[in-house]
């Protein structure tokens, strides 16, 4: 009889154990996946807001150019001498190096 009662008590505790384990998995997932991605997004946004006229950039499509004008939602980028295109702010990243264009 005591064995049955002990088994019943052990089974009741397993409900809490599974909830705690699930919470731990969610916490670990958040710490290693979601939080670093949020930090990277904030850093990219900060760099994008710091761009000014004359800065070298690369678009999400892979075009390198120089910012010639800054508007509210877009940049005017010169990709070749005399060739200017309008580019949405969300698709522009600071160029890693100027060696690519040489």
How far apart are alpha carbons 70 and 57 in whole angstroms? 13
Domain edges within the chain: 1-50, 52-101
pLDDT tens by residue, 46-82: 998 889 999 999 999 999 999 999 998 999 999 999 9
How far apart are alpha carbons 92 and 61 in whole angstroms? 9
- For the segment 86-100, the average pLDDT, to the nearest whole number, is 79
Task: Name the CA radius of gyration of the chain, rounded.
Answer: 27
DSSP string computed for the chain: -HHHHHHHHHHHHHHHHHHHHHHHHHHHHIIIIIHHHHHHHHHHHHHHHT--TT-EEEETTS-EEEEEEE-SSEEEEEEETTEEEEEEGGGEEE-S-SGGG-
pLDDT tens by residue, 32-41: 999 999 999 9
pTM here is 0.61
CATH 3.40.50.150 applies to domain 52-101: no
CA dist 96 to 31, 58, 60, 62, Å? Answer: 28, 8, 13, 12
How far apart are alpha carbons 2 and 50 in whole angstroms? 71
């Amino acid at each position: 009889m005591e064995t049955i009662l002990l088994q019943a008590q052990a089974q009741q505790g397993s409900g809490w154990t599974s909830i705690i384990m699930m919470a731990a998995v969610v916490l670990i997932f958040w710490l290693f996946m979601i939080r670093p991605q949020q930090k990277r997004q904030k850093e990219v946004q900060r760099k994008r807001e710091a761009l000014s006229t004359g800065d070298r950039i690369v678009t999400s499509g892979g075009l390198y150019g120089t910012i010639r004008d800054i508007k509210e939602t877009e940049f005017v980028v010169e990709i070749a001498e005399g060739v200017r295109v309008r580019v949405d702010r969300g698709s522009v990243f600071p160029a890693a190096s100027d060696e690519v264009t040489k």
